[in-house]
Amino acid sequence: MNGIRMPARVPIWAICWLIAVASAVLLRPPLPVDETRYLAVAWEMWLRGDFLVPHLNGEAYHHKPPLLFWLMTAGWSVFGVNDWWPRLVAPLFALVALFWTGRLARLIWPGEALTASVAPLVLAGAAFWTVFQTLTMFDMMLATCTLAGIAGVVSAWRNGGLGGWVVTAVAIGVGVLAKGPAILLHILPVALLAPWWGRTLPGGPDRPLISWKAWYLRLLLSVLAGAAIALAWAIPAGIRGGEEYRNMIFWGQSAGRIVESFDHARPFYWYAMLLAPLLLPWLVWPRLWRAVRAKGALADGGFRLLAAWVLPAFITFSLISGKQLHYLLPEFPAFALLFAHLLGRVDDHLPGRRFDGLIVAVFFAALGVATVLLPDDPSFFDAPAWFHRLDTMWGLALLAAAVGCWMWARGTAYTGAAVLALSMSLLVAVVHGAAREALAVAYDLRPIARELKALEDKGVPLANFSAYHGQYQFLGRLTQPMAELGLDATVTKNFIDGHPDGVIVAYYELDQLPVYPEGAVPLAEYRFRDYKVVLWRAGLLQTYPNLANRS
């Protein structure tokens, strides 16, 4: 691979990560309801000093395992309670995942230095990965554990020792603590199908350095060791949390969710339909498509390994009616490895061409022009009310990225991949910059949370008129649960009658605002997305019982 420019001391993929993550942390508020909910669980864990059973609004929180919350509180113990650390935890896993992607490429194709250099860039530049790495959620931790676990399996195949299995066991255990037993769906097929991919893995051997019986025995022991890591938390947590909590963490949020598929029902072809846009901009880079057509590029066991990684999860999630895009996030490194391998295998034979830069330049230029020319009129394509707050001049940065793509995306495979990855990270930064004010108006709950904190400090009881997801708890540093009203008539009446001086948070759609009765004066009014958020004295609802109902 003479003439290929290799990574600098600070990897370019790390710079890509920094651009995207820094823009999100600095320019975007925590997004309701998911990010604010997870912040609230960590905050309540910190307040209680109970690191065994997570809680949300005073109730045991069984929906997710505790690893994310442990890491948030661990950072607070070092840096003090702050807003920035908990929003860095999941993105830091994304940074580790980029490292593991290069590491895994070297394990699968030990003779292809270019593949190992390009793979993290491809992953860092994939549209879905680039956006999702900025969010405070669990799937990035799961993706990182998947990478580590599969790397352990490949290392065990190549070296025959126990070290790889130890890595896999730890990855399984940490993965369960990150997001439950779903980690097994991403790792086990690769290990079980080793006879299929291992015989043709580049660099040999054509069979494990131990017997097949020993291979599957060690796999079983690795799974059991990983389960033991998770059970070290789950068993005492189940005892402490009670029967309902125990049933949910051992069944309801894993197999029970799969069997019932009670949320996010979508057709079986949904993932297949959306996969291509999530892999942009790589799918519009002509160099990649020439690499796909190259003879023999998909002929080795590495491709089989990636198929064993992606296909079982893809098929399983497609058959389950409950679908979310981020369920497939642990498979995205496999696509990055595949694309990098294709580029690495044919780079010497396919020098860059003029159109390699032109097409991706047009892609980013079109996005930039569309951003700059966005109209100010919120009625444009039935846009949200905050649409006019977008700062369209950020689109000029995308035009600069288009120029960079035109000049350098036709260079070597490494140079082109680096330019595209940097451009995608810049796109994420542009989105956050252009929408900064709009996001603040639509999603920033901190002003409401501060008002509620001031009321709580005065001893005022607080309630939320609808299901409460903890969205104000951490943002306002609230220390007491908020009552949930409007769901049960008895609970609602008891709060209103028992706390006439309490404050109720109510929500109204902007296009269906009610006319307040004479004498009904709200304490405060705020905006949230397409809603008006109103703070009422509870005593007013004794006189006007339907005041807080949405109409």
The answer to whether residues 420 and 393 touch, using CB atoms and an 8 Å cutoff, is: no
Average pLDDT over residues 135-140: 94
Q: Measure the CA dihedral 309/315/317/318, to 10°.
A: 150
Sign of CA dihedral 255, 260, 266, 267: positive
Please report the pLDDT score of residue 138 as a whole number.
94
Residue 324 has pLDDT above 70, yes or no: yes
Please report the pLDDT score of residue 376 as a whole number.
65
The answer to whether residues 175 and 142 touch, using CB atoms and an 8 Å cutoff, is: yes
CA distance 54 to 147: 27
**549: which residues sit within 8 A by CB, 6+ positions away?**
465, 486
Please report the pLDDT score of residue 349 as a whole number.
52
Sign of CA dihedral 168, 170, 171, 173: positive
Least confident range of 35-44, 140-149, 389-398 = 389-398
Residue 8 has pLDDT above 70, yes or no: no
Q: How confident is the model at residue 441 (pLDDT cuts 50, 70, 90)?
A: confident
- Please tell me whether residue 435 adopts helix, strand or coil conformation: coil
CA distance 392 to 414: 32
pLDDT digit string, tens, across residues 406-439: 888 777 888 889 999 999 999 999 999 988 888 8
| C-beta atoms surrounding 84 within 10 Å | 10
pLDDT digit string, tens, across residues 355-367: 778 888 888 899 8
Q: Which two tokens stand for residue 315?
A: 């098929």
Residue that is written with structure tokens 């001893």 in the block: 459
Instruction: Give me Rg for the CA atoms of the chain.
Output: 26
Indicate yes or no: pTM above 0.85: yes
- Please tell me whether residue 276 adopts helix, strand or coil conformation: helix
Please report the pLDDT score of residue 78 as a whole number.
96
Annotated domain spans of the chain: 96-346, 354-442, 445-543
Please report the pLDDT score of residue 264 as a whole number.
55
Least confident range of 6-10, 306-310, 317-321, 435-439 = 6-10
Residue 165 has pLDDT above 80, yes or no: yes
| C-beta atoms surrounding 432 within 10 Å | 20
In what helix (H) or strand (E) does residue 337 lie, and over which residues does it extend? helix 332-346
Please report the pLDDT score of residue 282 as a whole number.
92
Residue 378 has pLDDT above 70, yes or no: no
The answer to whether residues 142 and 186 touch, using CB atoms and an 8 Å cutoff, is: yes
pLDDT digit string, tens, across residues 62-76: 999 999 999 999 999
For residue 33, cis peptide bond before it (omega within 30 degrees of 0):
yes
- Please tell me whether residue 188 adopts helix, strand or coil conformation: helix
Q: Which residue has the higher pLDDT, 256 or 296?
A: 296
Burial class (CB in 10 A: 0-12, 13-18, 19+), 1: middle
Q: Measure the CA dihedral 50/56/59/63, to 10°.
A: -100
Residue 2 has pLDDT above 50, yes or no: no
Strand partners, 533: 507, 526
Residue 267 has pLDDT above 50, yes or no: yes
The answer to whether residues 103 and 402 touch, using CB atoms and an 8 Å cutoff, is: no
Cα first-last separation, the chain: 67
Please report the pLDDT score of residue 34 as a whole number.
93
Residue that is written with structure tokens 């990897």 in the block: 11
pLDDT digit string, tens, across residues 528-544: 888 899 999 999 998 88
For helices 395-408 and 354-372, give the axis angle rounded to 10 degrees.
Answer: 180
Q: What b-and-e string marks burial along 172-205, b requiring 16 or more CB atoms within 10 Å of the CB?
A: bbbbbbbbbbbbbbbbbbbbebbeebbeebeeee
Please report the pLDDT score of residue 6 as a whole number.
45
Please report the pLDDT score of residue 20 as a whole number.
96
How would DSSP label each residue in 108-126? H-TT-HHHHHHHHHHHHH-
Please report the pLDDT score of residue 26 as a whole number.
95
Residue 374 has pLDDT above 80, yes or no: no
Q: Which region, left, alpha or beta, applies to residue 217 given φ > 0 means left and ψ of -120 to 50 means alpha?
A: alpha
Residue 509 has pLDDT above 90, yes or no: no
